[in-house]
Structure 1
């Protein structure tokens, strides 16, 4: 294996580990994910004066149930996608794939994940939750189209789960 391939795979694995840690917060009794702690690096990637969607003040019981379902599904998708990225990175190391092959595989995984997250956004009854989840899908799409997806994974992707954990709830 070339040193560049090993480095690329190691960076992808490190990003996935950080990402997975951000997704696995404790749940409250209602089953809604709690906000995961964010690092200064993660908050530095999000401008302070953004107009991020926030959940409705008092959603109806049906909307709240739908929001909880959508948010839980998105969290599960990101965890599953992260595990796939980690497994593919480990396999790339064993198979001695070139950096270009590793990046192509990562782009494909990210594109699939963005499609899955976008489908969950379409399910959301709350327009603010729909916008939040659609924005996450858009950001993941950007990673799939990035010229340096491993760098994108380490810089931008790791900020998505903490934001969803913080803002995606009824």
Structure 2
């Protein structure tokens, strides 16, 4: 009976590896913003150019932090997916019960959620911190789920594409 669950779960974890956790090119840190300079209207006195607002463009350090945090979360998701796939294959050989598999999956997901939360704490950009914190909370949903394998097929697979879309500078 268990073997019917482990095979699809292994395939699901492998699919998560390739589903999203890819750098989209929009993750690259921008160069430092140009400093405001003086402009002179035709025949007039020079005037100072408007200062950019703090929210308009991130600093190079902030952009680098965002890139590092987003890449670290991607790596955590990929590594956890590999671990889950490997554990699922191993569980088939060891003939674990569904309850044992659920416990194993919940343990993997709890560790992943904690690791993702650690990355959220590192994020300097409040928007990125919120995205990564929300991802950790989504993963907590898998830990709390009656069937984490079912949760993975319906919710976990949505996380990598979301990170690709929302976790960037």
Q: Is TM (by shorter chain) over 0.5? A: yes
> Which has the higher Rg, Structure 1 or Structure 2?
2
Cα-Cα RMSD: 1.7
In the other structure, the counterpart of 1:42 is none
Aligned residue for 1:89?
88
Q: Distance in 1 between matches of 2:107 and 2:160?
A: 20
> Larger helix proportion, structure 1 or 2?
1
**Map of 2:129 onto structure 1:** 130
What residue is the counterpart of 1:11 in the other structure? 8
8 Å Cα contact 1:16/1:85 also seen in 2: yes
TM-score normalised over the length of structure 2: 0.80
Give the superposition deviation at 1:57.
5.2
Superposed, 1:153-164 pairs within 5 Å as: 153-164=152-163
Partner residue, 2:22: 25
Does 1:120 pair with 2:119?
A: yes
Q: If the length of structure 1 is used for normalisation, what is the TM-score?
A: 0.79
Q: Note the C-alpha offset of 1:158.
A: 0.2
Q: What secondary structure does 1:100 align onto?
A: helix
Query: Secondary structure in 1 aligned to 2:2?
Result: helix
Q: Is the CA contact 2:24–2:164 (under 8 Å) kept in the aligned structure 1?
A: no
Q: Aligned residue pairs: how many?
A: 144
**Could you tell me how far apart the structure 2 residues matched to 1:57 and 1:113 are?**
33
- Describe how 1:44-55 pairs up with structure 2 within 5 A: none
Structure 1, unpaired ranges of 5+: 33-55
